[in-house]
């Protein structure tokens, strides 16, 4: 950490007592960042930005929301109709949830492609997986709050997952509900936790950043920083690049908010919750669909639940399941194909999750589920052993110095063009 | 072995029936008459809103509630304050208790929400052959297709169901209603209303107007939302262009 | 490279000016945009449309005898309606010339002298003064007495003693008939 110098007396006074300026200087200004980061590296900061937007809109929505079964639905509609700019806040929050997942999924796939989970970034990756889990819990509970038909039945189905556990299952579910069905106590606790968890995520993001700044950023070449020539300071280079990313992202996000605000939603959630009538076709929000498909792929209740949780748990073992010494997928010809197949598999799972259960769909779902685990548990460990990676460049500054690196450098060029 | 064959046959039957069941769930493709509020630049047509309100008020509101819309909201579709007061006062709402501890009825006020035709859902169900007419406030958002669904449903009634479709007594055939057997009798015909603005009240015109009105009831913020969206996105385009230019400048010498 | 930008500086002052201009323009637009984006959040805390719509209350005061008072709710606040006795009216008029902290004539505070309509919120820190019920203390001036910090109001609701700075506020109201008024 370089010594922080200032001529400003007040800044100096604070700095002596709380070294906040040197911390900012160190981690947000000087932070040496690989200069070859491409635009896929924007998605981390975008996700952080989105978290702030969600907390901000959420806090203001909570000022007008009533967590009671008889009033929740109408209080949301009052926000939409009577509260000044209430419709804007609510649509920002509602579409923001979907956008948050778009960003985080992209961020995760970027990490998967460039091997950002490999040593020494295993803990960084783990914290990320925990953030993802916390996000899913938060999103699920938030979806319950408007107390529409999908809210209610989504809550019923998902909480019932826990009934799959032998002996204690039903007790857990009753405990989660605070009663014998999803009802007012459930809504109240979900509201409480939905308000709490984003701040937990915020803290986790700090740990995520702490780990990042300890091991430093990965880069599209996946090779370590060798000299100061390879890096540039975070500010102004990446502050402006991130801001540009935020600008582009905001246009996409707000286009949905203003012109297709219910694109990601289900019409059924504009029908007030009715515990006596299940909608004919219930689906979770799109970001849960692949996991929902895995759940349904297994004919055994407990098996399905375990597989679904397993699909996320497997991510924790990824740093050791991927045996390749090379980080970046750019130098791994077979992995590249496998990665593409894996993305297709996730999309197929998502599609299957959105369809009503039918035999062909279930069959496709089973194959896709099997492939999901095959990719992590068999393909990745095997690939590291059998695949012959392309030669790596000597350094970030000189990716084309060695003859063999030529091709890699050429393919790298368009991606790096900032 | 016999069991296996039976299972295979059953599976084949289910597989064959599945697409049919799915098609049935989706129903025939909805009519898309086109609305003034479609698209980025689309806005509500004030005249259509007023006509649609007349249809709702004279026909739909006899059975359906509109609980999320307050009378005062009707100012947004061009009713004057006096007209709003008159509409609100047409029905009575329970109030109280008064100083004697009794509940009493008073005429509706502009601040009241549209007073429902039945005191509660049970009463609505009893008066309508067991099926309570749903609230229409959010109908345009709560069905796939929104206003197109409402328009299609209005025009989807047929006196004689197609061969092989059995409609129970007291129900009506509607080709756009999921399951086809709807409890609501055909609500509109040509000239079911006499429009104040002289528009010819064909069945299709009435359906179009009431779909417009119900979309407004569900999304009263639409005009404000779309106008604000243009300004915000325009502003963001400028800001993002500036960010990009500055980024190019700053990164100019990084190789 | 970290220092490549500083290398470029002496070579091209033009580029530097352009970069400065871009920086200032972007900062200015960004700051304005952030400011505008905050407005919906701030404005969402202002009274909502339904709250504003509930701003009138109709009151039937036919049962209020001379010397009695009723309290009704308007905008979530108590409104005092007092049927004043001739003595109270006379006292209030007499005090027009007294040493008043917030000078106002009684005639300016009523539409019909026998009916005094006031917002029942002490102008000090918002408590509800006593004096509506026959058993309540009415203070030295026969009007209202605020139990929180001892402000005392006279029979026209004017502040006479204690920490409150202003007279009890008169809400907007109109007589809609001989026995009813509409507040708001």
The nearest CA of chain A is from the CA of C34 a distance in Å of: 12
Q: Would B105 be classed as within a structural domain?
A: no
Closest C-alpha to B82, from B55, B107, B106, B110: B110
Place of tokens 């980025």: B40
Give me the pLDDT at residue B26, please: 57
Q: What is the pTM of this model?
A: 0.89
Coil, helix or strand at residue B206:
helix
Angle (deg, nearest 10), helices A122-144 and A149-160: 130
Angle (deg, nearest 10), helices A184-215 and A149-160: 70
- Is the minimum CB–CB distance between A90 and chain B shorter than 8 Å? no
Task: State pLDDT tens for residues C127-154.
Answer: 999 999 989 999 999 999 999 999 999 9
Q: Provide the pLDDT confidence category of residue B164 given band limits of 50, 70 and 90.
A: confident
* Judgement on whether residues B142 and B187 belong to the same structural domain of the protein: yes
* Judgement on whether residues B127 and B234 belong to the same structural domain of the protein: no
For A:27-46, CB contacts with B below 8 A are 35
* Judgement on whether residues A319 and A355 belong to the same structural domain of the protein: yes
Task: State pLDDT tens for residues A191-236.
Answer: 999 999 999 999 999 999 999 999 999 999 999 999 999 999 999 9
Q: Would you call B238 and C29 a contact, using CB atoms and an 8 Å cutoff?
A: yes
- Mean pLDDT is lowest, of A126-135, B74-83, C59-68, for C59-68
Q: Would B41 be classed as within a structural domain?
A: yes
* Judgement on whether residues A262 and A304 belong to the same structural domain of the protein: no
Q: Any idea how long chain B is?
A: 255
Task: State pLDDT tens for residues A77-136.
Answer: 999 999 999 999 999 999 999 999 999 999 999 999 999 999 999 999 999 999 999 999
Annotation says A217 is catalytic = yes
* Judgement on whether residues B204 and B253 belong to the same structural domain of the protein: no
Mean pLDDT of the region A361-378: 97
* Judgement on whether residues B178 and B244 belong to the same structural domain of the protein: no
Angle (deg, nearest 10), helices A72-81 and A86-113: 100
* Judgement on whether residues B145 and B29 belong to the same structural domain of the protein: yes
Q: Would A90 be classed as within a structural domain?
A: yes
Average pLDDT, chain A: 93
* Judgement on whether residues A103 and A169 belong to the same structural domain of the protein: yes
Q: Would B94 be classed as within a structural domain?
A: no
* Judgement on whether residues A268 and A381 belong to the same structural domain of the protein: no
Give me the pLDDT at residue A292, please: 95
Mean pLDDT of the region B9-29: 47
Give me the pLDDT at residue A399, please: 57
Which residues in chain C have their CB less than 8 angstroms from residue B235's CB? 29, 33, 36
Judge whether A272 and A148 are in contact, CB under 8 Å: yes
Q: Would A379 be classed as within a structural domain?
A: yes
Are β-strands A32-34 and A231-233 bridged in parallel, bridged antiparallel, or unpaired?
antiparallel
Give me the pLDDT at residue B1, please: 37
Annotation says A285 is catalytic = yes
* Judgement on whether residues A221 and A355 belong to the same structural domain of the protein: no
Q: Provide the pLDDT confidence category of residue B229 given band limits of 50, 70 and 90.
A: very high
Domain count across chain A: 2
Judge whether C112 and C74 are in contact, CB under 8 Å: no
Give me the pLDDT at residue C53, please: 85
Q: Would B103 be classed as within a structural domain?
A: no
Q: Provide the pLDDT confidence category of residue A3 given band limits of 50, 70 and 90.
A: low
Count the helix, strand and coil residues of chain B and give each as a percent rounded to the nearest 5: 50, 5, 45
Which residues in chain B have their CB less than 8 angstroms from residue A242's CB? none
Q: Would A415 be classed as within a structural domain?
A: no
Question: What CA–CA distances, in Å, run from C183 to A223, B49, C48, C78, C170?
Answer: 76, 33, 20, 11, 10
* Judgement on whether residues B191 and B140 belong to the same structural domain of the protein: yes
For A248, name the nearest residue in chain B, comparing CA atoms only.
B240
Phi, psi (5° rounding) for residue B139? Answer: -55, -35
Give me the pLDDT at residue A250, please: 98
* Judgement on whether residues A308 and A237 belong to the same structural domain of the protein: no
Q: Would B89 be classed as within a structural domain?
A: no
Q: Provide the pLDDT confidence category of residue C54 given band limits of 50, 70 and 90.
A: confident
Mean pLDDT of the region A299-325: 95
Q: Would you call C15 and B253 a contact, using CB atoms and an 8 Å cutoff?
A: no
Q: Would you call B233 and A241 a contact, using CB atoms and an 8 Å cutoff?
A: no
* Judgement on whether residues A289 and A270 belong to the same structural domain of the protein: no
d(CA A160, CA A249): 36
* Judgement on whether residues A320 and A183 belong to the same structural domain of the protein: no
Domain count across chain B: 2
Q: Provide the pLDDT confidence category of residue C6 given band limits of 50, 70 and 90.
A: very low
Instruction: Count how many pairs of residues, chain A against chain B, have C-beta atoms within 8 Å.
Output: 94
* Judgement on whether residues B156 and B232 belong to the same structural domain of the protein: no
In the predicted structure, residue C10 carries a pLDDT above the cut 60: no
Q: Would you call C44 and A63 a contact, using CB atoms and an 8 Å cutoff?
A: yes
* Judgement on whether residues A93 and A50 belong to the same structural domain of the protein: yes
Average pLDDT, chain B: 89
Q: Would you call A229 and C50 a contact, using CB atoms and an 8 Å cutoff?
A: no
* Judgement on whether residues A380 and A240 belong to the same structural domain of the protein: no
Mean pLDDT of the region C151-162: 94
From A282, A312, A342, give the residue that closes a domain.
A282
Q: Would B165 be classed as within a structural domain?
A: yes
Helix residue spans in A216-300 (DSSP H): 234-259, 289-297
Burial of A208 (0-12, 13-18, 19+ CB in 10 A): buried
**Long-range contacts: A138-142, Cβ < 8 Å, 24+?**
A138/A193, A138/A194, A138/A197, A138/A198, A138/A201, A139/A97, A139/A100, A139/A101, A139/A285, A139/A287, A139/A288, A140/A288, A141/A190, A141/A191, A141/A193, A141/A194, A141/A197, A142/A58, A142/A97, A142/A194
User: Any idea what the CATH number is for the domain that residue B125 is in?
Assistant: 1.10.760.10
* Judgement on whether residues B183 and B234 belong to the same structural domain of the protein: no
Mean pLDDT of the region B159-164: 89
* Judgement on whether residues A185 and A322 belong to the same structural domain of the protein: no
Which residues in chain B have their CB less than 8 angstroms from residue C25's CB? 242
Q: Would you call A232 and C50 a contact, using CB atoms and an 8 Å cutoff?
A: no
- Is the minimum CB–CB distance between C33 and chain B shorter than 8 Å? yes
Domain membership of residue B237 as a residue range: 227-255
Q: Would you call A89 and C43 a contact, using CB atoms and an 8 Å cutoff?
A: no
Task: State pLDDT tens for residues B165-176.
Answer: 889 988 999 999
d(CA B158, CA B122): 29
Mean pLDDT of the region B66-71: 96
Angle (nearest 5°) at CA C136 between C133 and C139: 125
d(CA A30, CA A3): 12
* Judgement on whether residues A382 and A277 belong to the same structural domain of the protein: no
Task: Tell me how crowded residue A276 is: count the other CB atoms within 10 A of its CB.
Answer: 4
Of B40, B138, B240, the CB nearest to A270: B138
Which residues in chain B have their CB less than 8 angstroms from residue C54's CB? 111
Give me the pLDDT at residue C71, please: 93
Task: State pLDDT tens for residues C31-46.
Answer: 999 999 999 999 999 9
d(CA A157, CA A142): 15
Task: State pLDDT tens for residues A152-192.
Answer: 999 999 999 999 999 999 999 999 999 999 999 999 999 99
* Judgement on whether residues B7 and B58 belong to the same structural domain of the protein: yes
Of B111, B239, B243, the CB nearest to C54: B111
Closest C-alpha to A163, from A176, A148, A147, A150: A176
For B:135-174, CB contacts with A below 8 A are 137-138, 141-144, 146
Closest C-alpha to A241, from A34, A380, A19, A86: A34
* Judgement on whether residues B214 and B231 belong to the same structural domain of the protein: no
Instruction: Count how many pairs of residues, chain B against chain C, have C-beta atoms within 8 Å.
Output: 48
Give me the pLDDT at residue A262, please: 97
Q: Would A156 be classed as within a structural domain?
A: yes
Q: Would A1 be classed as within a structural domain?
A: no
- Is the minimum CB–CB distance between B95 and chain A shorter than 8 Å? no
Give me the pLDDT at residue B8, please: 39
Q: Would you call C40 and A63 a contact, using CB atoms and an 8 Å cutoff?
A: no
Place of tokens 């809504």: A187
Domain membership of residue A49 as a residue range: 31-282
Task: State pLDDT tens for residues B176-204.
Answer: 999 999 999 999 999 999 999 999 999 99
The nearest CA of chain C is from the CA of B83 a distance in Å of: 16
Which residues in chain A have their CB less than 8 angstroms from residue C40's CB? 84-85, 88-89
User: Any idea what the CATH number is for the domain that residue A163 is in?
Assistant: 1.20.810.10
* Judgement on whether residues B52 and B173 belong to the same structural domain of the protein: yes
| Annotated catalytic residue within A213, A235, A301, A390 | A213
Annotation says A213 is catalytic = yes
In angstroms, the first-to-last Cα distance of chain A is: 29
* Judgement on whether residues B128 and B183 belong to the same structural domain of the protein: yes
Q: Would B101 be classed as within a structural domain?
A: no
In the predicted structure, residue A2 carries a pLDDT above the cut 60: no
Give me the pLDDT at residue B21, please: 37
Q: Would A300 be classed as within a structural domain?
A: yes
- Is the minimum CB–CB distance between A400 and chain C shorter than 8 Å? no
Annotation says A118 is catalytic = no
């Amino acid at each position: 950490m370089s010594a922080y110098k200032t001529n400003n007396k007040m800044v100096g006074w604070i700095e002596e007592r709380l070294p906040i300026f040197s911390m900012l200087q160190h981690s947000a200004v000087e932070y040496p960042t690989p200069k070859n980061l491409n635009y896929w590296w924007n998605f981390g900061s975008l996700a952080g930005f989105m978290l702030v937007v969600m907390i901000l809109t959420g806090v203001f929505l909570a000022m007008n929301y009533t967590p009671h079964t008889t009033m929740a639905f109408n209080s949301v509609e009052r926000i939409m109709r009577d509260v000044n700019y209430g419709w804007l806040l609510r649509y920002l929050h509602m579409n923001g949830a979907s956008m948050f997942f778009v960003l985080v999924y992209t961020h995760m796939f970027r990490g998967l492609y460039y091997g950002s989970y490999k040593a020494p970034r295993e803990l960084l990756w783990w914290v990320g997986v925990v953030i993802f889990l916390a996000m899913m819990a938060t999103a699920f509970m938030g979806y319950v709050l408007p107390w529409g038909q999908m809210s209610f039945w989504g809550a019923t189905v998902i909480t019932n997952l826990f009934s799959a556990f032998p002996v204690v299952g039903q007790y857990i579910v009753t405990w989660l509900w605070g009663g014998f069905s999803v009802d007012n106590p459930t809504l109240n606790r979900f509201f409480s936790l939905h308000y709490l968890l984003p701040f937990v995520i915020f803290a986790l993001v700090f740990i995520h950043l702490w780990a990042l700044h300890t091991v430093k950023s990965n880069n599209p070449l996946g090779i370590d920083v060798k000299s100061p020539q390879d890096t540039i300071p975070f500010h102004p280079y990446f502050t402006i690049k991130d801001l540009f990313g935020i600008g582009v992202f905001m246009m996409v996000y707000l286009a949905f908010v203003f012109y297709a605000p219910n694109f990601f939603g289900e019409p059924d959630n504009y029908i007030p919750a009715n515990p006596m009538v299940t909608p004919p076709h219930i689906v979770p929000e799109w970001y849960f669909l692949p996991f929902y498909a895995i759940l349904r792929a297994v004919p055994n209740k407990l098996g399905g639940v375990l597989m679904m949780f397993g699909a996320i748990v497997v991510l924790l073992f990824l740093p050791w399941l991927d045996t390749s010494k090379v980080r970046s997928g750019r130098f791994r010809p077979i992995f590249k194909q496998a990665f593409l197949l894996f993305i297709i598999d996730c999309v197929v799972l998502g599609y299957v999750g959105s369809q009503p259960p039918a035999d062909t769909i279930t069959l496709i779902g089973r194959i896709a589920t099997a492939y999901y685990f095959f990719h992590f548990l068999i393909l990745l460990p095997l690939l590291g052993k059998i695949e012959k990676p392309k030669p790596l460049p000597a350094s970030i500054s000189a990716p084309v110095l060695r003859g063999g690196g030529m091709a890699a450098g050429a393919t790298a060029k368009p991606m790096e063009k900032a | 072995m016999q069991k296996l064959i039976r299972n295979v046959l059953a599976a084949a039957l289910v597989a064959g029936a599945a697409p049919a069941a799915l098609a049935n769930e989706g129903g025939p493709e909805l009519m898309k008459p086109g609305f003034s509020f479609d698209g980025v630049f689309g806005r509500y047509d004030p005249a259509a809103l007023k006509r649609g309100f007349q249809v709702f008020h004279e026909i739909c509101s006899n059975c359906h509630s509109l609980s999320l819309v307050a009378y005062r909201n009707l100012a947004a579709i061009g009713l004057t304050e006096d007209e709003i007061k008159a509409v609100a006062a047409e029905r009575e709402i329970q109030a109280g208790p008064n100083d004697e501890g009794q509940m009493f009825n008073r005429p509706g006020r502009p601040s009241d929400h549209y007073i429902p035709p039945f005191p509660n859902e049970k009463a609505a169900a009893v008066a309508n052959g067991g099926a309570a007419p749903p609230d229409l406030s959010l109908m345009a958002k709560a069905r796939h297709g929104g206003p197109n669904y409402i328009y299609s449903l209005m025009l989807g009634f047929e006196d004689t169901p197609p061969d092989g479709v059995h409609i129970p007594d007291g129900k009506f055939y509607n080709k756009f209603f999921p399951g086809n057997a709807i409890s609501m009798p055909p609500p509109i015909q040509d000239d079911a209303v006499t429009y104040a603005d002289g528009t010819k009240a064909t069945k299709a015109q009435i359906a179009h107007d009431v779909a417009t009105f119900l979309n407004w009831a569900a999304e009263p913020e639409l005009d404000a939302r779309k106008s604000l969206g243009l300004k915000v996105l325009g502003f963001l385009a400028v800001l993002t262009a500036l960010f990009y230019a500055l980024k190019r400048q700053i990164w100019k010498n990084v190789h | 490279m970290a220092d490549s930008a500083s290398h470029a500086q002496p070579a091209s002052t033009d580029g530097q000016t352009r970069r400065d201009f871009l920086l200032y323009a972007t900062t200015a637009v960004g700051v304005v945009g952030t400011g505008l984006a905050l407005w919906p959040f701030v404005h969402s805390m202002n009274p909502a449309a339904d709250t504003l719509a509930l701003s009138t209350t109709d009151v039937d005061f036919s049962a209020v005898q001379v010397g009695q008072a009723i309290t009704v709710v308007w905008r979530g606040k108590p409104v005092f309606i007092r049927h004043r006795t001739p003595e109270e009216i006379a006292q209030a008029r007499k005090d027009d010339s007294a040493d008043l902290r917030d000078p106002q004539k009684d005639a300016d505070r009523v539409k019909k002298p026998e009916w005094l309509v006031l917002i029942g919120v002490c102008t000090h820190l918002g408590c509800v003064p006593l004096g509506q019920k026959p058993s309540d203390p009415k203070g030295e001036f026969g009007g209202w007495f605020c139990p929180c910090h001892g402000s005392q109001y006279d029979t026209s609701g004017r502040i006479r003693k204690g920490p409150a700075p202003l007279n009890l506020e008169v809400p907007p109201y109109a007589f809609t008939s001989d026995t009813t008024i509409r507040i708001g």
